[in-house]
Structure 1
Amino acid sequence: MLNALTRSHKIEHMAKTEYDLLIIGGGITGAGIALDASMRGLNVALVEMQDFSEGTSSRSTKLIHGGLRYLKQLQVGVVKETGRERAIVYENGPHVTTPEWMLLPFHKGGTFGEFTTSLGLKVYDSLAVVDKNERRHMLSKKEVLNKVPHIKKTGLKGGGYYVEYKTDDSRLTIEVMKKAATYGADLVNYLKADGFIYQDGQVCGVTATDTLSKENYTIHAKTVVNAAGPWVDDIRNINGESTQDKKHLIHTKGVHIVFKQEDFPLTQAVYFDTENDGRMIFAIPRQGKTYVGTTDTFYTEDKVTPIANKEDKDYLVNAINYMFPSLQISSDMIESSWAGIRPLIQAAKSKNASAISRKDEIWHSDSGLITIAGGKLTGYRHMAEEIIDVVSDVLKRKYKMTIKKVSTKDETISGGDVGGSVGYTNYAEQVSRKAPSYGLTIEEGHMLALKYGSNAEDVYQYAGISNDNHKKYDLPKSLYAEVIYSVLHEMVVKPTDFLVRRSGKLYFAIEEVEKYRRGIERLLADTLTWTDEEYTQYIEEVDQAIKDTQK
């Protein structure tokens, strides 16, 4: 259990334990590695210098991509792998992954034509072994306009209709973390690995600082994996590795902007090309909003808090107005935004953009540090399997350990025990009928069941035992229960942890943030016994987070 109330005790326990594996990085890659390793019987620890998923893993396009665009680059193997991994992610966590029919319009002179769209989608269906109910359809011009009335009519010839998978990237990450914890993994946020310890020249652990208490710790491990995302090279440099003469990371920034539905009335997700550079952009309806992204520009600034600047927003607004000219979208209509950093791999000393890879790679240092870099959200499970195979070989060779060979392919993540993708809807309907016995409405219960899956009844319980305590904080009972659950099961220690990552409200329900943030802040302060200094700091962090989404 990821309990914030016992977080400091967990760290003290970690400092007294020698682990088989220590993971640096609490994004989706680190979470996947922790789950795979703990399922194989390894004693696992994970440290994250920020909150879980605070980096790239909460700032994506929030899609489990099937790899369609790689067909254009003739990367058949990538399409095959990502398409199949996409189905596994969905089946193991249907409460955080949802099929989303995507419209790919084609216009005269555009990136895609009718023949290439039809052929490409057909090949994709075959390679990705797409379920027959989700295989592509071709739409006429009239059918496209029926689905998206505001789309550019000039030159419109028709469209392809296929399925992508929408996800909550940050909740996917935390659910994988929680599942790893059930197998015994020790996972802690706000614990920064800032140095290595060595024995006979080999890495045997890290020094770490609790960024909340400022206490220093040493954590020992037989093997250490660097899965720090955009900070991978920083960790390699701490280990004394020169990244100048080797493959290294290069960062690009992806920006997304969010609109109210009344400003951008979209009920059908669209994947469309831009006017000048031929890039493809997503416009996706979500929770009563429409969000659009993404950009892809080289980035060398602050990795902790990237923001969408005016140039980023103007690029996306221009793309929208090119494809949806009648809407006359302006930057003033943007309600919120987020920016994420892609850690891509560049060959040593190469300045050629074609040498930048989006695939994952595993690197070994002379000191024994194992690094995994690159990759996509969709492939997190397969990436984890690959690197734990490597870790297992090291443990077998150096320590004569016997490692179980198991697979996460059929392992549901936390909250995923809902009868698979087929049973998920029925599960949500059935469990929501219990909500009134906990003081919740059926509608509130249904919302919580859809979000938390098979963990919903745990959330209900915190509503049930609240009595009228939620009124003290001017919070709806359901929201009160979510906050308490997030503290006791998802290691929320700051209001931004909940408002940005566990709930996503900062991006898709900014009005709720403004309405309820003070109550949430007071509830967390009382539950976690913040000091006055912490209270001031954490409130300022919420203020800054709101400003960053609205700059």
Structure 2
Amino acid sequence: MQASQDRTDRIHRLDSEPFDLVVIGGGITGAGVALDAASRGLKTALIERNDFASGTSSKSTKLIHGGLRYLKNLEIGLVREVGQERAVVHKIAPHLVRPEKMLLPLVEGGSLGKLSTSMALWVYDFLADVEGEDKRVMLSREETLEMEPLLREDILKGGGFYAEYRTDDARLTIENVKTAIGKGALAVNYVEATGFVYDKEGRIEAVECRDRYGLRDFAISCKHVISSAGPWVDDLRKIDKSMNNKRLFLSKGVHIVVSRERLPLAHACYFDVADGRMLFAIPRLRCTYIGTTDTPYKGNPNAIPVYREDVEYLLDATNAIFPTVDLTLEDVESSWAGVRPLIFEEGKSAGEMSRKDEIFESDSGLLSIAGGKLTGYRKMAERVVDRLGKQLHGEGAELGDTTTRKIVLSGGPFRDFDEVLRYEEEMAGKLAEASLASDRAAYLVANYGRQTPQIIELARIRSEQTDVARLATAEADWCIRHELALYPIDWVERRSGRLYFDMPSIEPVLEDVLEVFAKAYGYSDEDRQRERQRVRDAIEWVSTFEPEKKEDGVQVD
């Protein structure tokens, strides 16, 4: 029951202490803002309506990349910034942000020719200050086939090979939250901002909240508010009565997951589709995932469905470039759908709209940040906290410069990625010593970095369980203690990523994991059944694709 008491104590602090800043929205941007603000000395609270990273920030393509296709729209500044940010984020969390060489096959009738691709990749490398072995290499048809034999031979003309980075977006968010907490921030999930309290001058002086776990209302006293609520930014602007002609446009992106046995790629691929779009196919441990679509979305951002036509589009495009694999609907193990909160631009399609971020400032002092890319989260946070600094300056206070480019995220430090790989080997040995599966080392280090030994030790002492359950329950226990996991679905989906990338592993350990949460939060039999069903509903939601719209998603109500 200690976990339950800890959360009660955090809610009490939110209710009783004054804060310099309240950050609304616990996705990657909000987590980055909380870390930036707390590291500059501001007393910061971070609240999230659901779980951290439960929205867009767990449903991206999971790449820290420079946005090669944005060169087509001549967004040079954006490509340069996020290209350079790749190296920064890799440096502060190399176990989470991993080098991923990308193969770009060039095909007859494709959107890119060999010369134009060579020039584009050269510019891409130049803007991102890429050096050494990571610089782009142009490949002949034969060299491209040697790298990826599954490619369609009759239309293949050659390829480009260049450097990107792969991550787990939810894990990156959570490690930013934990690092912010280490810098003094107070972060609580399942707390919804429902309104604002204003002083006589019309400035915000408190945020009205609803604790969705404890089911009670309270207010956080604060001097300033930053909204990083992603698709819900306009909802808060409406509550603040500060909507103007600028508004969000939601673009839906769908990804599907198949086993690596069915799509055994040696490299991540970025390939043409017949309709002029491009898709990614990215190997990740036991799976390969494919995406993304880019279509307007006007539905409920809390429950974004994956339709059968979304899946068939991705399967058809993949089979067209890798014709021998013959993927079918039955091969799809899991999926996810998210929305990108873009800044609306009249006359442009979803794919044409800029991925630049923008800051809105209302007369009440509310700062809202929207748009942007996962890769640029740190710079987005820096910009909006800098804008907050202008408000502070007007009040006679000064804010120091950001230092987040040098703050190592929890799970580190590692000098470089080679040290991460050596650490994986070391952890494989520790797992074997504890009579646990040594092949889980790569997964554990990718998720938890240098926090892995603590999880192994928790598993070692659970001798009464099966080996699989020992490790799963140790991991769940650790996430409750150190990562604010409140419900089993928090661990299944966002802490471990099993819902997307290791679906077969969930059911064999579900009862054991439920027991861990039951002990931590004092579940009744009814609570246990509700949480069991919530996990099973989530499995059905990501693995069943209806031709008609589903009414409800898997959320905590």
TM class by smaller structure? over 0.9
How far does residue 480 in structure 1 lie from its aligned partner after superposition? Answer: 2.1
- Cα deviation, residue 431, structure 1: 5.3
2:542 aligned with 1:541, yes or no?
no
Counterparts of 1:121 and 1:140, CA distance in 2: 16
Distance 1:421 1:266, change over 3 A: closer
**Count of matched residue pairs:** 541
Aligned-residue offset at 1:478: 2.2
Q: Distance in 2 between matches of 1:412 and 1:55?
A: 25
State how 1:500-515 maps to structure 2 within 5 Å.
Answer: 500-515=493-508
Query: What TM-score comes out, normalization by structure 2 length?
Result: 0.93
Q: In the TM superposition, what is the alpha-carbon distance from 1:407 to its structure 2 partner?
A: 1.6
Q: Say which is worse superposed, 385-394 or 36-45, in terms of deviation.
A: 385-394
Structure-1 residue corresponding to 2:473: 480
Residues 344-386 of structure 1 show CA distances to partners (whole Å, capped at 9, x for unaligned) of: 1114xx3543884321000011111110011100000000111
Cross-structure match for 2:453: 457
Instruction: Give, in whole Å, the separation in 2 of the partners of 1:217 and 1:319.
Output: 50
Aligned to 2:256: 257
- The 1-side partners of 2:296 and 2:130 are apart by 34
Q: Distance in 1 between matches of 2:90 and 2:138?
A: 24
Are 1:519 and 2:512 an aligned pair? Answer: yes
Question: Normalization by structure 1: what TM-score?
Answer: 0.94
AA partner of residue 52 (structure 1) = F
The CA distance in 1 between the partners of 2:141 and 2:432, in whole Å, is: 47
User: 1:527: how far off?
Assistant: 2.2
User: 1:274-423 alignment to 2 at 5 Å?
Assistant: 274-275=273-274, 277-347=275-345, 350-353=346-349, 356-398=353-395, 400-423=396-419
Q: Is the 8 A contact 1:259 1:334 kept in 2?
A: yes
CA separation in 2, counterparts of 1:367 and 1:218?
A: 17
Question: How many Å separate the matches in 1 of 2:91 and 2:300?
Answer: 36
For the structure 1 residues 326 and 446, does the alpha-carbon distance in structure 2 shift closer, same or farther, using more than 3 Å as the test?
closer
Post-superposition shift, 1:273?
0.9
Residue of structure 1 equivalent to 2:38? 38
Code of the aligned partner of 2:469:
P
CA distance in 1, matches of 2:290, 2:521: 37
Paired AA for residue 212 in structure 2: T
- 2:150 aligned partner: 150
Return the offset for 1:451.
2.9
| Displacement of 1:93 | 0.5
Q: Structure 1 residues 468 and 385 mapped into 2: Cα distance closer, same or farther (>3 Å)?
A: same
The code of the aligned residue for 1:238 comes to I
Question: What residue number does 2:247 align with?
Answer: 248
Match of 1:187 in 2: 187
Distance in 2 (CA, whole Å) between partners of 1:494 and 1:531 is 14
Q: Give RMSD over aligned pairs.
A: 1.9
- 1:495 and 2:493 matched: no
Shift of residue 430, structure 1, vs aligned partner: 3.9
The corresponding residue for 2:159 is 159
Asked whether the 8 Å contact 2:64–2:374 carries over to 1, the reply is yes
Decide which moves more: 262-271 or 215-224: 262-271
CA distance in structure 2 between the partners assigned to 1:469 and 1:39 by the alignment: 43
Amino acid in the other structure paired with 1:297 = T
Aligned to 1:126: 126
> Aligned pair in 2 of structure 1 residues 306, 366: CA closer, same or farther (>3 Å)?
same
**Matched residues in 1 for 2:59 and 2:412: separation?**
23
Q: Read off the aligned partner of 2:463 and give its amino acid letter.
A: D
**Contact 2:17–2:221 under 8 Å retained in 1:** yes
User: Contact between 2:171 and 2:447, CA under 8 Å: does it hold in 1?
Assistant: no
SS, match of residue 404 in structure 2:
coil
Shift of 1:195: 0.9
Q: Is the contact between residue 175 and residue 410 of structure 2 (CA under 8 Å) also seen in structure 1?
A: yes
Distance in 2 between the 1:155 and 1:280 partners?
A: 16
CA contact (8 A) 2:206 2:220 kept: yes
1:330, CA displacement in angstroms? Answer: 1.8
Alignment-derived partner of residue 114 in structure 2: 114
Find the counterpart in structure 2 of residue 234 from structure 1.
235
User: Unpaired runs of 5+ in structure 1?
Assistant: none
AA matched with 2:253: G
The 8 Å contact of residues 4 and 492 in structure 1, kept in 2 or not, is answered as no
What residue ranges of structure 2 are gaps of 5+ in the alignment? Answer: 545-557
1:439–1:463 Cα contact (<8 Å) kept: no
Mean Cα displacement is larger for which, 204-213 or 49-58? 204-213
C-alpha separation in 2, matches of 1:425 and 1:333: 31
Pick which of 447-456 and 284-293 moved more: 447-456
Alignment-mate amino acid for residue 235 of structure 1: L
- With 113-122 and 144-153 compared, the bigger mean Cα shift is at 144-153
Paired with 1:422 and 1:91, the residues of 2 have a C-alpha distance of: 12
> Hey, which bits of structure 1, 4+ residues long, moved more than 6 A?
none
Q: Distance in 1 between matches of 2:282 and 2:535?
A: 26
Contact map agreement 2:359 2:384 (CA 8 A) in 1: yes
Q: Is 1:82 matched up with 2:75?
A: no
Post-superposition offset of 1:438? 5.6
Deviation at 1:443, TM superposition (A): 4.7
User: Bigger shift: 258-267 or 365-374?
Assistant: 258-267
Are 1:17 and 2:17 counterparts? yes
How many angstroms apart in 2 are the aligned matches of 1:431 and 1:334?
A: 31
Residue matched to 1:7: 7
- Distance apart, 1:506 and its partner CA: 0.8
User: Match for 1:176: what amino acid?
Assistant: N
Change (3 A) 1:278 1:456: same
* Percentage identity across paired residues of the two chains: 42
| 1:397–1:4 CA distance, 2 compared to 1 (3 A) | farther
Counterpart-to-counterpart distance in 2, 1:205 and 1:533: 36
Q: Which moved more, 1:372-381 or 1:73-82?
A: 73-82
Aligned to 2:463: 468
In the alignment, is the contact (CA less than 8 A) between 1:255 and 1:337 conserved in 2?
A: yes
CA deviation vs aligned residue, 1:75-103 (integer Å, no higher than 9, x gap): 22111111100111111111111111111
Q: Deviations over 1:505-534 (max 9, x none)?
A: 011111001221222112211222123343
Letter in 1 for 2:486: V
SS at 2:153 equivalent: coil
Q: How far does residue 109 in structure 1 lie from its aligned partner after superposition?
A: 2.1
Secondary structure of the residue aligned to 2:49 is coil
Q: 1:63–1:166: 8 Å Cα contact kept in structure 2?
A: yes
In the alignment, the residues of structure 2 paired with residue 151 and residue 437 of structure 1 have an alpha-carbon distance, to the nearest angstrom, of: 42
Q: Residue 4 of structure 1 contacts residue 488 of structure 1 at CA under 8 Å; is this kept in 2?
A: no
